[in-house]
Amino acid sequence: MPCTWVMACAYAPSGCAVACGGLDNKCSVYPLSLDKNENLAAKKKSVAMHTNYLSACSFTNSDMQILTSSGDGTCALWDVESGQLLQSFHGHAADVLCLDLAPSETGNTFVSGGCDKKVNVWDMRSGQCIQSFETHESDINSVRYYPSGDAFASGSDDATCRLYDLRADREVAIYSKESIIFGVSSVDFSLSGRLLFGGYNDYTINVWDVLKGTRVSILFGHENRVSTLRVSPDGTAFCTGSWDHTLRIWA
């Protein structure tokens, strides 16, 4: 990739392409192929163009549209084929660091978190911000919908994870401990939504009981910051990526 830092990547729903981007301010889509002779770099398609770094990207329900968030404070929806900007989302007062799309059953919304300490919920079709939450005390590094789509969790540099209920329009839980002082870089739910996994900058993973608000477990293994975390689609394991150059799978 022709840029120093890749900050975001995402699989297309079909598994046939990958989108990525970072300090190049763009999101590019690469078709995947098992043919070793194919020059995949030549088939790269530049889809999104922001005026600052790309912090996150995600395909919508199809391979045809991609949602991006950027250090320029906006999110945007793009048509992959033409590279056309379909919708832009303005409302954050600072860099947008993360986004997550609502589970398909619940409709066309997505949530974004930024350096302005706010989490915004957006209507993808109108570009309108429909809800906003500002309870974190620092940058929000990660947001993730609860499996039912009625709530979402966020992880922040303020060392807390929080759960927000969308229908009640308020924060309902804070997952924190006095002993945890390092920021959360990434959060994800287990399949039932009972467990919340958080990757922290103190190299650990804390596992929270979503309903009780207590910590279930703390996992050690990484030798540097955990920068990303994702539960597998079948829910049997989760994977963490770290500044220690490793990816670890936990089951």
Partner 1 sequence: LSGKMCSSSNSIIQAQKLVDQLQIEAGMERFKISLTAADLVQYCQEHRRSDPLLTGISASSNPFKDKKTCVLL
> Interface with partner 1 by CB under 8 A: which residues?
91, 128-132, 146-148, 150-151, 165, 167-170, 172, 190-195, 210-211, 231, 234-238, 251
CA distances to 48, 115, 121, 177 from 158, rounded to whole Å, are: 31, 11, 21, 11
Contact 80, 47 (CB under 8 A): yes
Kindly tell me which of 137 and 169 has the beta carbon lying closer to partner 1.
169
- Burial (Cβ within 10 Å: 0-12, 13-18, ≥19) of residue 240: buried
Kindly tell me which of 76 and 151 has the beta carbon lying closer to partner 1.
151
Kindly tell me which of 2 and 220 has the beta carbon lying closer to partner 1.
220
Kindly tell me which of 211 and 247 has the beta carbon lying closer to partner 1.
211
Residue with the two structure tokens 């194919």: 38
Would you state the structure tokens that stand for residue 89, as one six-digit string? 């989302």
For residue 43, the 8-state DSSP code is G
Residue type, 142: S
Kindly tell me which of 40 and 130 has the beta carbon lying closer to partner 1.
130
Other beta carbons less than 10 A from residue 218's beta carbon: 14
Contact 223, 202 (CB under 8 A): no
Residue type, 204: T
As measured in angstroms, the least distance from the Cβ of 121 to partner 1 is 10
As measured in angstroms, the least distance from the Cβ of 214 to partner 1 is 14
As measured in angstroms, the least distance from the Cβ of 148 to partner 1 is 5
As measured in angstroms, the least distance from the Cβ of 17 to partner 1 is 29
As measured in angstroms, the least distance from the Cβ of 236 to partner 1 is 4
